[in-house]
């Protein structure tokens, strides 16, 4: 139809990811479903959430262990197809994390995500190779706008061998000259090469901006450092006193209820 934007194909998303390190894919969660999921995730964070290091931002890591309302969409081919095109078959989900920017939250630090964030105990030391090894997807459960706090991204930064979490000469708390803001309607998904520098933006509205990070990993990326009680975590995090994300295991009763196409993304995390 004239004037209507065509849906982003997997091929087009891959081109954006290769050149810019990010893109937005629209309409992944249907409009008539997204409000209920947003409300449900907000409630989970109210009950089980914690605050991140960024003032005014609420979070719940290992979200799927607490809330399965979004599970039907995790294997959508428009998102998983991108991960499979980059990593081949046997992709796994490494994180599901709620991120709520409450009204008045402060701007967060510019960083690249795990395993490129140099502040994490488990990380690939910079200078890291120029290869895509992890995908971060940020699901817009409420609209991401300039006012609500659409994620700040630095196009092209994924090709850099380091990021502002690793003392690369870029001040993590200052706006970067070429940064942009990723925006989209509720139900859209921002997809980032996890190396892409990004930051939490301030929400200057009076309603929470509800987002959810889902990360997709190739089968060969070792995720054990994220698993509570694992040998890797004991060695790399507990014994060193290092800082690391913890992703709650999924019980077999939750796993059994997951949609058939989502189970393969989770069977490595069932305990």
Ligand X SMILES: O=C(O)CCC(=O)C(=O)O
Q: Nearest CA to 59 among 40, 38, 39, 41?
A: 41
Q: Are 221 and 183 in contact (CB under 8 A)?
A: no
Residue 140 · residue 149 · CB < 8 Å: no
Least distance CB 164 / ligand X (angstroms): 12
Q: Are 181 and 146 in contact (CB under 8 A)?
A: yes
Kindly tell me which of 86 and 138 has the beta carbon lying closer to ligand X: 138
What's the closest the beta carbon of residue 89 comes to ligand X, in angstroms?
A: 26
Is 113 a residue that touches ligand X (CB under 6 A)?
Answer: yes
Out of 61, 99, 107, 158, which residue is the one contacting ligand X (CB under 6 A)?
Answer: 99
Least separation in angstroms between CB 114 and ligand X:
8
- By CB under 6 A, residue 61 contacts ligand X: no
Report in angstroms how near the CB of residue 247 gets to ligand X at its nearest. 13
What minimum distance in Å lies between the beta carbon of 80 and ligand X? 19
Among 200, 216, 218, 236, interactor with ligand X by CB under 6 A? 200
Both structure tokens of 126: 């910079």
Residue 107 binds ligand X, judged by CB under 6 A:
no
Task: Please state, in angstroms and rounded to a whole number, the distance separating the CA atoms of residues 91 and 197.
Answer: 23
* φ, ψ (nearest 5 deg) of residue 12: -70, -40
Confirm or reject binding of residue 158 to ligand X (CB under 6 A): no
244 binds ligand X (CB under 6 A): no
Q: Is 211 in the site for ligand X (CB under 6 A)?
A: yes
Nearer to ligand X by Cβ, of 53 and 228: the residue is 53
Q: Give residue 79's Cα distance to chain centre.
A: 12
Maximum Cα interatomic distance, the chain, rounded to a whole number of Å:
60
Q: How far is the CB of 230 from ligand X (least distance, A)?
A: 22
Can you state the angle between helices 77-87 and 10-19, rounded to 10 degrees? 60
SS3 130: coil
* 198 is a site residue for ligand X (CB under 6 A): yes
Residues in the chain: 271
Which chain residues interact with ligand X by CB under 6 A?
99, 108, 113, 138, 151, 198, 200, 211, 213
């Amino acid at each position: 139809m004239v004037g209507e934007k065509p849906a982003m194909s997997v091929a087009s998303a891959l081109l954006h990811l290769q050149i810019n390190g990010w893109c937005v894919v629209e309409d992944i969660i249907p409009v008539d479903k997204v409000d209920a999921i947003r409300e449900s995730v907000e409630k989970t964070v109210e009950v089980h959430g914690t605050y991140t290091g960024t003032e005014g931002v609420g979070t719940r890591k290992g979200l799927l262990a607490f809330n399965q309302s979004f599970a039907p969409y995790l294997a959508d081919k428009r998102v998983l197809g991108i991960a499979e095109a980059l990593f081949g078959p046997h992709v796994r989900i490494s994180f599901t994390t709620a991120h709520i920017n409450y009204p008045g939250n402060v701007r967060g630090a510019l960083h690249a995500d795990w395993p490129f964030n140099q502040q994490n105990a488990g990380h690939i030391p910079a200078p890291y190779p120029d290869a895509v090894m992890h995908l971060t997807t940020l699901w817009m459960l409420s609209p991401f706008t300039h006012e609500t706090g659409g994620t700040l991204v630095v196009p092209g930064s994924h090709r850099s061998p380091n990021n502002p979490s690793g003392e690369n000469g870029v001040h993590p708390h200052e706006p970067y000259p070429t940064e942009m803001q990723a925006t989209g309607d509720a139900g859209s998904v921002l997809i980032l090469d996890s190396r892409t520098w990004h930051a939490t933006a301030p929400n200057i509205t009076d309603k929470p901006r509800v987002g959810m990070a889902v990360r997709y990993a190739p089968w060969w990326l070792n995720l054990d450092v994220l698993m509570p009680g694992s040998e890797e975590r004991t060695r790399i995090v507990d014994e060193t006193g290092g800082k690391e994300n913890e992703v709650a295991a999924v019980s077999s009763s939750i796993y059994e209820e997951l949609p058939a196409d989502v189970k393969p993304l989770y069977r490595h995390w069932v305990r």
